[in-house]
Amino acid sequence: MPRRNPDSAPGDWYIDTACINCAASRHVAPGLIVERGDKSVFARQPANEEEEMMAWRARLVCPTASVRTEAKRPKPEGIFPQELAPGVYRCGFNSKDSYGAHSYFVARAEGNLLVDSPRYAAELRKFFESSGGIRDILLSHQDDVADADKYAEAFGARVWIHQDDARAAPYATHRIEGKNEVKIRDALVAIPVPGHTRGSVVYLLEDRYLFTGDSLAWNEERAQLVAFRDACWYSWKALTESLARLEAYRFEWVLPGHGWSAHLPAQEMNRELHALVQRMKA
């Protein structure tokens, strides 16, 4: 039976010992929740309304339901999806099947997108329905498909995944092949980036938003882009080459499954990516 982690700060909010250290709660409650002893814990109790909302986001993003309160309290409205940029949302409700990876919903007039999948939740389905449904589900790789099949069935969505990872989503309607980019619609392309897995893909929307799965992320502590060598299941060399090819693209946002998101001017983002590739080659 999970119990309160004694490393959590005294008070009503706490994180239990079932935490898998996926870091998702730290991404939505920075500073309030920190890492100690390979677990996420509350560094202190929420001090105001904004921090209380952060704590609630941590509760609903946690894939193991480890973020808890001693006292029962009413859940506020509008916790998730969380709007990060105009029409671009972090879904929350992260799935344990994806080791707590983030997923994203994008509302656009030409059809809404779901990038990777949260766990199937009535609150999310209601939000997606009220926003006009889901036209395309974009899967970055085999690890983060979660309940994509349920959302695809509910909304009649097209599902995209690379052929090399397609065994994880046999229901996918569209298979990406090889290393060449695939145009999904105007201003949306799929770019294969083998490395983390053989079939990893990033999706570039409007030359601004890059949804990166587990191939690329921001490290808040180091203030730089990073790739995960200790979680590179296919080939570090291939991932280095893949990220080097991304230097030819323009984007301002990195929106990963694992790791921190980042928003920088396009030229600065390109410099950060180039610096990462050089570190990977060293």
The CATH number that applies at residue 130 is: 3.60.15.10
In a domain, 75, yes or no: no
Residue range 154-158: mean pLDDT, rounded? 98
| Domain-located, residue 2 | no
The answer on 263 and 137 residing in a single domain is yes
- Any idea of the CA torsion for 120, 197, 252, 158, to the nearest 10 degrees? -40
Position 212 scores a pLDDT of 98
- Regarding whether 211 and 93 lie in a shared domain, the answer is yes
**Does position 251 have pLDDT exceeding 80, yes or no?**
yes
Instruction: Please say which residue of 69, 102, 133 terminates a domain.
Output: 69
CATH of the domain at 63: 3.30.70.20
Q: State residue 259's pLDDT score.
A: 96
Residue 145 domain-assigned (yes or no): yes
**210: enclosing H helix or E strand:** strand 209-213
Name the pLDDT band for 2 (thresholds 50, 70, 90): confident
Domain hosting residue 49, numbered range: 13-69
Express each pLDDT in 120-131 by its tens digit.
999 999 999 999
| pLDDT tens string 23-60 | 999 999 999 999 999 999 999 999 999 999 999 999 99
Q: In the chain, how many domains are there?
A: 2
The pLDDT tens digits of the residues spanning 217-244 come to 999 999 999 999 999 999 999 999 999 9
Residue 108 inside a domain? The answer is yes
What is the model's pLDDT at position 1?
74
User: Do residues 222 and 88 share a domain?
Assistant: yes
Q: How far apart are CA 140 and CA 247, in angstroms?
A: 19
Report d(CA 165, CA 180) in Å as an integer.
16
Amino acid making up residue 197: T
The whole-number pLDDT of residue 265 equals 98
Tell me what pLDDT residue 110 has. Answer: 95
Both 93 and 233 in a single domain?
yes
Predicted confidence (pLDDT) per residue in 89-107, tens digit: 999 999 999 999 999 999 9
Report helix, strand and coil shares of the chain as percent, to nearest 5.
25, 25, 45
Residue 37 sits in the same domain as residue 87: no
In a shared domain, residues 111 and 64:
no
Per-residue confidence band for 73, with pLDDT thresholds at 50, 70 and 90: confident
pLDDT at 232: 96
Judgement on whether residues 223 and 192 belong to the same structural domain of the protein: yes
Do the domain assignments include residue 1? no
If asked whether residues 31 and 123 sit together in one domain, one would say no
For residues 176-212, one letter each, b for 16 or more C-beta atoms within 10 angstroms of the residue's C-beta and e for the rest, the string is: beeeebbebeeebbbbbbbbbbbbbbbbbbeeebbbb
Task: Evaluate whether residue 8 is within a structural domain.
Answer: no
User: Is the same domain home to 127 and 225?
Assistant: yes
Percentage of residues in the chain having pLDDT higher than 70: 100
Same domain, 52 and 108: no
Q: Is residue 242 domain-resident?
A: yes
Give the tens place of pLDDT for each residue, 169-224: 999 999 999 999 999 999 999 999 999 999 999 999 999 999 999 999 999 999 99
User: Do both 134 and 234 map to the same domain?
Assistant: yes
In a domain, 97, yes or no: yes
273 & 201 share domain: yes
User: 202 with 162: CB under 8 angstroms?
Assistant: no
